[in-house]
Amino acid sequence: MGENTSSKPSFKKYILGFWILFISGVLGIAFIFLLASWGALGTMPTFEELENPETNLATEVISIDGETLGKYFKENRTPINYEDLPDHLINALVSTEDERFYSHSGIDARGTLRAAIYLGSKGGASTITQQLSKLLFTDPNKSGTFNRITQKVKEWVIAVRLEEQYAKNEIITMYLNKMDFLYNAIGIRSASRIYFGKEPIDLSIEESATLVAMLKNPSLYNPVKDQFKDNSLRRRNQVLKQMEKNGFLTTKIKDSLQELPLLTYFSPEEHDDGMATYFRAYVQDFMRSWVDDNPKPDGTSYSMYRDGLKIYTTLDFKMQGYAETAVEKHLKNLQKEFDSQNKQNKTAPFRSISSSEIESILNRGIKNSDRYKTMRRKGINEDSIMATFNRKREMRLFSWEGPIDTIMTPKDSIRYYKSFLNTGMMSMTPQTGEIKAWVGGVNYKFFKYEHVKQAKRQVGSTFKPFVYATAIDQLHLSPCDEYPNTPFTIPKGRHGVTEDWTPDNSGGDYGGMKTLKQALAESINTITARVINKTGPESVINLIDKLGIDVSRIDPVAAIALGTADISVYDMVSAYSTFANKGVYVKPYAIQRIEDKNGTILYQHQPESRDVLSEESAFVTIKLLEGVTRFGSGKRLRLNSDYAKGTEVYKRAVTGYPYALENDIAGKTGTTQNQSDGWFIGMVPNLATGVWVGGEDRSVRFPTITYGQGATLALPIWGMYMTDIYNDDTLDISKAEFERPENLSILIDCDEASDELENGEGENKETTEFEIDF
């Protein structure tokens, strides 16, 4: 029989068909990739976009000593350079996410083949570069099989392009800067600060491993949520094992690290959290105005939430910390006393007002609330809105012991918040205008109203130095000039007086002759009235206008001498600073410069200054103010110091006051009517600091002068703040005397004042009470 040859052509046909199918498949896949590169499967990044991938970068607020105070962001991302990443973080990343990172060109062929054969059961195939391409240029939210396939194809194409465009270390840096670690921790720098309270370069090996463990699934391997901590620990230890496998750790070190507990130092970076929150809100307002007035070269606007600007401020990180600590320590104690004295007060926290006035205050609070304004914008009628304020709901309230979760009506919460004493505090350098510390309230998250620049309150006796400075500058008066401490009347029709005006001294103390130095130290109202009668209120207002105080609502009447005007802490501190700066006013400022993300300077502060007083007049005013802290209402700053030992005030004082300041201090306390406001403004040669303490409403106050005076409300914050500053050798805050001008012609050395200092006499009645152990 002959050989059957009919099967041979059939076999060849199958072989040929296989190769045609195989080659068609390869060409088809290649064509798909080619289509993707052309953008047929969706928009692909251009060369320029690969060169400058678009990211949302947080704007950073930086202190004068280089610390990050806070950020403004849509995404809390602050880029970091490769050089600032620790080696063990990079080793952990490569070992866990992409072992062949340094040998492939964007796609790991071995990993892809393994993933295809085992259907992903032995690990995925995405390289670090592919993950970066996904983060930068593809949309992971598209659903459907076809979309997922096209997304993966686009990732591969973009990954290859990224490898061509960037070095390996740049790819790693971009990837770590882009990753989202939850809690507004976008990028490795934010993650390091939020989870461990440190910069990336300071991370330990196990901390780096914990962050790398989160890359697989930040939620599932969350190290701060209790239900996921075990997952995080296991994943961290797996990362350490991978580092051992790849030769970056010895077995001994790996084993020891795996035994360590999972520890974090969780500190979220929300807009309302962290250091200098009120100051950052002020800077934010400054930036809004600056952005409006300063467009980019292409005409578009800068964004402080996306453009990664650097705002270099004048604030000193350490001094800000000392200021916030002093405020918290003092007000926490003071609030306890305030609450105790309100237990028997039926209208608490208000005093001496009617129920209708209280209702009016609460209704104003309702209409000023965010809740009310939001509902009004939605078109909800007034009755419905007010009804919601009387329905109980869950809420979190502020307390000095920590937040309180409770059920309360919003209206009752408004009354609750009215019961807290609040504060405004600012420090500045008189010679430069640099603002060094800014505390606008007790807690920005719960009390948004700001008390340094926004709020204006009656200043009480802290206004008197302006009256005396006017008289010294115009009339050449001396601190040693004497006046009778007797009732004094400015008649109707003179200096804006509508009826005969006879001010009372605090405590009804009269008699004898007093020098101007004694009169200011003891806040003697009658002598201050005599002085403004000589100068006229118009001259005083003219002076304070030059000192930077807003005088638009200050009427030229004699009563301003006793501090009836409402003035901000910001204005008062800058005005007082002129005395310490030899009569030259320097406008306070907070922003040194603004840079873009590339370090280009976009804004540079230009100082503003003007001559206001002669150097002699400024110095004489300083000497008057020194008397306040030597033998007047500010004398308690000297407790436990050589200035105070042996005096009556020292003997009466309780133990525990932390100050023993012996250097020259010029300062003034202030107390307003009914103890609604307490002030202290104090200066040393290169630092001026003002403190106000009071309730949000003037009817929220202590019932007596014992606790309601500036020497008790505000001065302790200044004293604790300056004590901490002087205990810090890294801060250059002067303890020297104020510089005496040459050819001083005004007599400033008053023997009487010196005698009274030594004998513990001349003390204001307001300063004889010491009942709080601060």
Is 208 inside a domain boundary? yes
Asked whether residue 545 is assigned to any structural domain, the reply reads: yes
End-to-end CA distance of the chain: 121
Any idea which residue has 């592919």 for tokens?
130
Task: Look up the CATH number of the domain holding residue 470.
Answer: 3.40.710.10
Is 722 among the domain residues? yes
Phi, psi of 585, rounded to the nearest 5 degrees:
-80, 130
Residue 124 lies in a domain: yes
Q: What does pTM read for this prediction?
A: 0.80
Query: Pick from 225, 259, 293: which residue ends a domain?
Result: 259
d(CA 55, CA 77): 9
Q: Are 193 and 164 a contacting pair, CB within 8 Å?
A: no
Q: What is the largest CA-CA distance in the chain?
A: 152
pLDDT score of 655: 35
Give the pLDDT of residue 613: 97
Q: For residue 159, what pLDDT is reported? A: 77
Of 690, 603, 641, 651, nearest to 768 by C-alpha is 651
What are the CA-CA distances from residue 47 to residues 37, 51, 164 (Å)?
A: 12, 6, 11
- Boundary-marking domain end, from 237, 259, 281: 259
Residue ranges for the chain with pLDDT beneath 70: 1-11, 14, 16-55, 108-125, 137-154, 640-658, 751-774
CA distance 752 to 643: 16
Quote the pLDDT of residue 110. 66
Domain with 234 in it: 77-259
Two tokens, residue 168: 């390996």
CA-atom Rg of the chain in angstroms: 35
Neighbours of 742 (CB within 10 A): 7
599 located within any domain: no
Does the residue 119 lie in any domain?
Answer: yes
Beta strands in 7-120 (DSSP E): 59-62, 68-72
CB 633 within 8 A of CB 521: yes
Give tens-digit pLDDT for 468-485: 999 999 999 999 999 999
Closest by CA to 278, choosing from 139, 455, 398, 399, is 455
Which residue type sits at 405?
Answer: D
> In 540-686, at which residue ranges do the beta strands (DSSP E only) sit?
566-567, 584-586, 591-595, 601-604, 609-611, 666-671, 677-684
Neighbour-count burial of 162, counting CB atoms closer than 10 A to its CB (0-12 exposed, 13-18 middle, 19+ buried): buried
Q: How many domains does the chain have?
A: 2
For 452, the token pair is 């340094």
Give the tokens for residue 619. Answer: 């110095």
CATH number for the domain including 106?
Answer: 1.10.3810.10
Q: 172 lies in a domain?
A: yes
Of 259, 279, 307, the one marking the end of a domain is 259
Return d(Cα 540, Cα 356) in angstroms, integer. 38
CA distance linking residue 394 with residue 403, whole number of Å: 13
Tokens of 402: 């920590």
Residue 34 lies in a domain: no
Q: Which two tokens stand for residue 751?
A: 């023997």
Q: If you count them, how many residues does the chain have? A: 774
